Amino acid sequence: MKVSVRLSELENGFEAPEEWTGCFDRVTGNVVVIDDGTMRAAEDAEEEALTGAAALERAWDVIPEAFPQAREIARDLKEERFLRLPTTRDFHEYRRMEEFIDSMPAGEAQERLGQAISGKGAFRRFKDEAMRIGVIDGWYKFRDETLRQFLRDWAADHNLTLDETSPVRL
């Protein structure tokens, strides 16, 4: 049986800060996002077979309310219930910037954006240049569309039914 997940929830989980872990709960159909400090403490507790209280005492950066669910995720090593969401590294936003540039008509705007993404600080320079030449809205639309397709593909790869009827946040 396929489990259904809302595309908007996947987007919200994907867009969580880098220091948070996003998972899809195959039982409830919800996306769960937990800070990495709490996840690390739960994983350490599982490795050392610590009780909940002992694990919480040893960790200084734990959100106590999130610890029980983090513990469940840590126990689910084979991702039978909790499926880790893809990260921004999996999405390869730099590659998406290259695709956006390639989709533009040849000319000065394409050249300027191509130069902006070379070297350190490429993301900031790209966005600044896109703003200067008036294509920032086009970039965000392109990025959002490619992100949605990336998440659709991810859901299909994991045998999840995608609900796109709820409002999309992006």
Task: Please state, in angstroms and rounded to a whole number, the distance separating the CA atoms of residues 74 and 42.
Answer: 6
135 pLDDT band, cuts 50/70/90, is very high
Contact 66, 34 (CB under 8 A): yes
Question: Which residue has 């300027």 as its token pair?
Answer: 112
Q: What's the number of CA atoms in the CB half-sphere (13 Å) around residue 97?
A: 21
10 pLDDT band, cuts 50/70/90, is very high
What value does the mean pLDDT take over residues 152-170?
A: 81
What integer pLDDT is reported at residue 166 of this predicted model?
59
What integer pLDDT is reported at residue 57 of this predicted model?
57
- pLDDT tens by residue, 49-60: 655 555 555 555
Task: Please state, in angstroms and rounded to a whole number, the distance separating the CA atoms of residues 55 and 137.
Answer: 47
Contact 23, 82 (CB under 8 A): yes
Whole-prediction pTM: 0.81
| Start-to-end C-alpha separation, the chain | 29
Task: Please state, in angstroms and rounded to a whole number, the distance separating the CA atoms of residues 89 and 49.
Answer: 31
Share of the chain above pLDDT 90, in %: 56
Greater confidence, 76 or 58?
76
- Residue 131 reports pLDDT greater than 90: yes
What integer pLDDT is reported at residue 77 of this predicted model?
76
Sign of CA dihedral 150, 151, 154, 159: negative
DSSP per-residue letters across 51-96: -HHHHHHH-SS--GGGHHHHHHHHH-TT-SSEEEPP-HHHHTHHHH
Contact 5, 155 (CB under 8 A): yes
Q: Which helix (H) or strand (E) segment is 39 a member of? A: helix 36-48
- Average pLDDT, rounded, for the chain: 87
Structure tokens at 114: 């191509």
What integer pLDDT is reported at residue 170 of this predicted model?
44
Greater confidence, 151 or 77?
151
What value does the mean pLDDT take over residues 60-82?
A: 81
Sign of CA dihedral 158, 15, 152, 5: positive
- pLDDT tens by residue, 85-125: 998 889 999 999 999 999 999 999 999 999 999 989 999 99
Residue ranges of domains in the chain? 3-85, 87-164
